[in-house]
Amino acid sequence: MAPRRTLTRLLLAPATAVAALIGFAAAPAHAAVWSSSDQWGNYTTSDGYILYNNIWGSGAGAQTVWANSSSNWGVWANHPNTGGIKSYPNAKKIVNKSITSLSSLTSSYNVTVPSSGAYNTSYDIWDTDYDYEVMLWVNHNGAVGPLGTSQGTVTLGGHTWAVYKGDNGANQVFSFLRTSDSSSGTVNILPILKWIKDTKGWWGNETIGDVQFGYEITSSQGGLDFRTNGFNVSSS
């Protein structure tokens, strides 16, 4: 099972919020190989990616994740128009290599996202000890923002990012927000990880565990669709 995004957030979620997830209303049907409305529903694809419904925030509504493959999956979510992140449905690939032992780490994405709601489409990259979290926002909508303080802008991995550095009490978070929203593209992730290590000195030679990609949803009232039309992670 993929890890919860932030363990402290999960542990602090009130029991009433978890109980509210039981007995979801039926979501729109998708013709898919697999689907789940379970809070922690997960599925491993034939090529080794793990899909995860991951409804972890307080006050969440109904959500159904579906998948035909690692590059063809999506989520229908109906979360109330309130503050706070409700979920991070995602697909992940386990890398399990140190930064210095990696010669390449790239990913491509293609998504269709709604014009309403509050969310970001992002990579969530973790070290194996879950001490550090690197978020790469490729697009966002509504009243959402990164954790921490601004560190300026940098051009890395084929994109220009606004950088933020923060701490959520459980782990350090380095957030990179693409300065112009994108629904498709390729990210060269390794130069970003090396910049954090070598240029900024914010971490050491960490072993990269999970490379996750998905939708961090704050609100999607009325029910919204998020679709992944293409996704892959390649490392060597």
CA distance 190 to 235: 9
pLDDT category at 30 given cuts 50, 70, 90 is low
Nearest CA among 211, 133, 209 for reference residue 176 = 133
Q: Is the pLDDT of residue 14 over 50?
A: no
Q: Is the pLDDT of residue 73 over 80?
A: yes
**Structural tokens at position 117:** 């709601």
Percent of the chain with pLDDT over 90: 87
Contact 63, 53 (CB under 8 A): yes
pLDDT score for 103: 98
Fold classified for 7-235: Jelly Rolls (2.60.120)
Nearest CA among 195, 206, 233, 213 for reference residue 132 = 206
Side by side, the strands of the sheet bearing 118-127 are 42-44, 50-52, 90-98, 207-219, 118-127, 132-141, 172-178, 159-167, 149-156
What mean pLDDT do residues 213-225 have?
A: 98
The structure tokens 């039926």 sit at: 26
Instruction: Provide the residue ranges of all domains of the chain, joining segments of one domain with +.
Output: 7-235
Q: Is the pLDDT of residue 29 over 90?
A: no
pLDDT score for 201: 98
What mean pLDDT do residues 6-34 have?
A: 45
Lowest-confidence region among 5-14, 129-138, 196-205: 5-14
Instruction: Write the CB contacts of 142 (distance below 8 Å, at least 6 apart in sequence).
Output: 116, 117, 118, 119, 218, 219
Inter-CA distances, 76 with 10, 13, 139, 217, Å: 21, 22, 18, 11
Side by side, the strands of the sheet bearing 105-112 are 34-36, 62-69, 72-78, 224-235, 105-112, 184-188
Strand partners, 215: 121
Tell me what the pLDDT averaged over the chain comes to: 90
> Higher pLDDT residue, 118 or 6?
118
The structure tokens 């491993």 sit at: 44
pLDDT score for 72: 97
Q: How many CA atoms lie within 13 A of 92 on its CB side?
A: 25
Q: Is the pLDDT of residue 81 over 90?
A: yes
Which backbone phi and psi does 63 adopt, to 5 degrees?
-155, 135
Summarised one tens digit per residue, pLDDT across range 87-141 is 999 999 999 999 999 999 999 999 999 999 999 999 999 999 999 999 999 999 9
Distance of CA 33 to the CA centre of its chain: 22
pLDDT score for 142: 97
pLDDT score for 20: 39
pLDDT score for 2: 41
pLDDT score for 11: 32
Q: Is 93 helix (H, G, I), strand (E, B) or coil?
A: strand
